Amino acid sequence: MRSTFAIVLILFAASLAAQPLTVGTQIVDAGGTATITNAGPVTYVNLYAGATKAGTVNKATVGWSAACSNAFKIVFLRQNFGSLAAFTLVTSRGPFNAVKGRNEVTLSPPVNVAQGDFIGIVQLQSVTACGSVLTQSFSDLSIGYNMITTADMSTTTGTIGGSTNYSSGYAIEAIAYEASPVLVRILPAAGAAPGATAFFRTSLQMLNATTNTITGNLVFRKQLQPGSITDPSLAFSLSPGQSISYPDVVASMGSSGVGSLDIFTNNGDAPIATARVFSDGGAAGTSGFSEESLPPGAALDFFSRGILLIPPDLTNFRMNVGVRTLDSGATLTVNTYDSAGNLKGTRTLPAYGPNVFDQVPVSTFTGLSSVPPGGYILVSFNVFGGRAFLYSSVIDNRTSDSTFRLADIK
């Protein structure tokens, strides 16, 4: 029995070394349902979080609003880049019966996907008779992008007709994956380490807003160390409605240093997670910034650019730039401009490997000994498939107060 348990632990640890292949995203608060018309069929396609890499998926989790037989199908689509309104049907699975809440289904046979393929849900019956896929709305309309068509795309080979529209600001609860645990959230910056004038720590709070128990692991990715089964890890379990707090989460893992924090869960459910990175002044109190956890699909990629602003005062403030790659790594080109918009320098960084975190001073990142105050940095990907989070941290040299800014997606 002990040998079997040891094998299970080894397999679980190995799965934390890299990000399991996923298609789609998991939501943290299913507050609504996708509806465009009461009638069916209707297909909802998540255009926000494509397949993280090429491979095979054999499981899926779908949130549904009511118990029903023959409720939905799952479709996988590939975009034809020659036309924004053309998709090729990779394959479909189902129909599946639904229960209210989380539905875990087996994809038989397993589905082969290419990086960037999309997942969609076909609602086969009317909303009143059978319900629909659960959704989460976002105040930021740049998060979540979906295609909706009043047709069963599993039988139309992905052809989009005049009844199709596109919308942003929400996500459907549908994710396919190759194995548990699933990487559901990332905190790009975390650590427990001394700074130039302070000691920085990271507190973390998580809430289970779903109706299912969430189990998983927190994994700390140290600077310039590729993901490994030896990375510091901390198991957690959250009952429905339960929250948990870690005053110094990296120290709770028995670790230190700077890096990023991954949240893995079984069956794909995701907690609401927020962190505070702060300078610990002891009896004098703390100063720092809050940081929300992000789904992997929110990372920058080949089709987007990131912009970071440089402080106008580089005497009293210092700036660091952080990069956290995903499974495909990233090769970045950095263009630096002054406040008048004049290009001051261009640099292509050495390729970052998979699941690597790095944070360096802005002069190191740009390759400029004299960084233009009040200017900005524009970062682009020069290799298709690369994905990464990019941020800046600006620290007041006098108080050690700090800010965090995720690069804008342009």
- Where the chain has pLDDT below 70, the residues are 1-19, 29-37, 81-86, 139-144, 157-163, 195-198, 267-268, 409-410
In the chain, the amino acid numbered 197 is T
How much is the pTM? Answer: 0.78
DSSP string computed for 48-92: SS--SSSEEEEEEEEEESS-EEEEEEEEEEEE-TT-TTBEEEEEE
Residue-wise pLDDT for 149-197, tens only, equals 888 888 876 555 546 777 777 788 899 988 778 888 999 999 888 766 6
Is the alpha carbon torsion for 302, 391, 264, 356 positive or negative? positive
Residue-wise pLDDT for 118-148, tens only, equals 999 999 999 999 999 988 777 665 566 778 8
Taking alpha carbons only, the member of 375, 379, 269 closest to residue 319 is 375
Residue 41: Cβ within 10 Å count: 19
CA distance 382 to 302: 7
Sequence-distant (≥ 6) Cβ neighbours of residue 399 within 8 angstroms: 287
109: preceding bond cis by omega (within 30 degrees): yes
Residue 249, classed as helix, strand or coil, is helix
